[in-house]
């Protein structure tokens, strides 16, 4: 409360506030509903929300929120009939390698990069700064060295020391993947059990390939040669089968650092190559991306990976057919530790329209998916600002760390103001 409030107003506000909070768990929407219920009172302006929650939701229920029955039916049918293509993002490997947000924050601290706070947790932006200050190949090489060092610190007592001495990164990661295979909530274990012929990861590891082998299948692994690194034509039009699936890496592999898509410039170059070098893409992969339902796993909508893939798929030959198919996006939300100066940041789910025909939905599989589509709120949005304490709500961006959540601008919105 930002001032004195009468008991009658408080009773009416709190009753409506808790009823709305129980209904959807979105605290800023609940406050707006409470203020709406007392808008005729002279002290309606007193209740106000000051929040440091990034998304404003206090809890999540894993479920589809739109046409759930039909969405479930279409997704299950696509998987059972082998007409589904998983597009696998970096989020699935967070439990093994750590998150890219954490990696970006550590690089910023190590090199004391003068980046805007909102950019300090974007690995793509941080790697771009490092590339400009050094050379093109420095960020991929630093990534490999960082992963070896970090995994040695965390798992050095569990794996043979000579693996770390030889810096055999793929071998180390695959060994950790085998350990994770025993966990029932391991996402790669669930994905490899879908029994599909083609998988399209944009992550850099061979974790999926290893899981498929453990499952008794014989996968073949290729990557999109956006930098012309392969000496011969690697295209193969042989039709993949569930027992011998194709794993087609879009953004390169860690065992070949030159193939990685890491910096901002790399993403732009990759997108140009994706359009100009379509002949390098195996025809089964082309068909899988345009004539199958796409299941996006482990992406955040603000990630460079997802945004570039989204634009690339839209410009792919035959992409008009995608509008006739249902597509689903899933966001895994494990806790993500960050630099102390950035505070603790827990992954928040937000799944939106991943393609023109995509449905705003998410699902809970055998592994935990505490996710739900973010409810959109119409109207002009603002954010709370934190500078020497929380100041009044303003429609401007703070130079410091922003906090709080969007809200609608209406007569009962969260306006910190005094009556005239």
Residues with Cβ within 8 Å of 277's Cβ and at least 6 positions away in sequence, in order, are 225, 226
Average pLDDT of the chain to the nearest whole number: 74
Assess whether pLDDT exceeds 60 at residue 397.
no
Note whether 199 and 208 are within 8 A (CB): yes
pLDDT of residue 67: 59
The string of DSSP letters for 396-407 reads: S--SS-EES---
Residue range 50-68, pLDDT digits in tens:
777 665 555 555 555 555 6
Task: Indicate the DSSP class of residue 372.
Answer: B
DSSP code string of 41-65? STTTTS-------SS-BS----B--
Query: How much is the average pLDDT of 183-195?
Result: 86
E strands in 98-202:
198-201
Crossing angle between the packed helical segments 138-155 and 169-181, to the nearest 10 degrees: 50
Longest dimension (CA), the chain: 78
Task: Tell me the three state secondary structure of residue 274.
Answer: helix
How far, in Å, CA of 23 to CA of 408, rounded?
A: 18
**pLDDT category, 95, cuts 50, 70, 90?**
confident
Q: C-alpha 195: how far from its chain's center? A: 24
- pLDDT given at position 308: 93
Q: Can you give the pLDDT at residue 273?
A: 93
pTM, whole model, 2 decimals? 0.65
Per-domain boundaries in the chain = 7-57+376-403, 68-346
Q: Which of 285, 354, 360 is nearest to 316 (CA)?
A: 285
Q: Which residue has the higher pLDDT, 305 or 407?
A: 305
Beta bridge partners of 244: 241
What local confidence, expressed as pLDDT, does residue 202 receive? 93
Q: What is the pLDDT of residues 2-30, one digit of tens each?
A: 788 899 989 999 999 998 888 777 788 88
**Closest CA relative to residue 174, chosen from 162, 163, 190:** 163
Dump pLDDT digits (tens) for 338-358: 433 333 333 333 333 333 333
98: CB partners within 8 A, 6+ apart: 150
């Amino acid at each position: 409360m930002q001032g004195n409030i009468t008991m009658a107003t408080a009773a009416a506000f709190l009753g409506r506030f808790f009823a709305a909070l129980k209904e959807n768990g979105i605290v800023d929407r609940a406050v707006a509903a409470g203020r709406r219920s007392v808008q005729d009172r002279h002290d309606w302006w007193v209740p106000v929300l000051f929040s440091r929650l990034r998304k404003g939701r206090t809890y999540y229920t894993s479920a589809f929120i739109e046409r759930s029955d039909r969405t479930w039916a279409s997704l299950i049918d696509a998987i059972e009939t082998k007409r589904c293509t998983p597009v696998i993002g970096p989020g699935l490997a967070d439990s093994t390698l750590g998150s890219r947000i954490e990696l970006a924050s550590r690089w910023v601290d190590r090199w004391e990069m003068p980046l805007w706070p909102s950019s300090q947790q974007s690995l793509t932006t941080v790697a771009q700064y490092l590339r400009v200050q050094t050379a093109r190949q420095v960020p991929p090489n630093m990534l490999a060295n960082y992963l070896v060092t970090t995994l040695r610190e965390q798992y050095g007592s569990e794996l043979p020391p000579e693996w770390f001495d030889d810096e055999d990164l793929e071998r180390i990661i695959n060994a950790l993947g085998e350990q994770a295979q025993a966990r029932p909530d391991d996402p790669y274990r669930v994905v490899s059990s879908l029994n599909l012929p083609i998988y399209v990861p944009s992550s850099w590891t061979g974790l999926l390939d290893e899981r498929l082998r453990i499952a008794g299948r014989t996968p073949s692994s290729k990557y999109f040669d956006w930098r012309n690194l392969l000496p011969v034509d690697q295209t193969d039009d042989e039709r993949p089968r569930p027992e011998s699936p194709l794993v087609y890496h879009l953004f390169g592999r860690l065992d070949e650092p030159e193939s990685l898509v890491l910096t901002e410039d790399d993403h732009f170059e990759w997108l140009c190559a994706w359009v100009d070098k379509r002949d390098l893409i195996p025809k089964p992969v082309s068909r899988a991306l345009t004539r199958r339902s796409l299941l996006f796993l482990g992406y955040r909508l603000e990630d460079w990976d997802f945004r570039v893939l989204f634009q690339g798929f839209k410009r792919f030959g035959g992409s008009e057919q995608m509008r006739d198919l249902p597509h689903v996006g899933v966001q895994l939300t494990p806790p993500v530790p960050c630099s102390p100066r950035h505070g603790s940041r827990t992954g928040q789910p937000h799944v939106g329209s991943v393609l023109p025909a995509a449905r705003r939905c998410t699902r809970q599989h055998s592994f935990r998916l505490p996710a739900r589509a973010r409810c959109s709120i119409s109207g002009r949005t603002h954010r709370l600002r934190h500078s020497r304490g929380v100041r009044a709500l303003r429609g401007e961006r703070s130079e410091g760390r922003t906090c709080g959540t969007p809200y609608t601008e209406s007569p009962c919105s969260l306006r910190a103001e005094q009556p005239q």
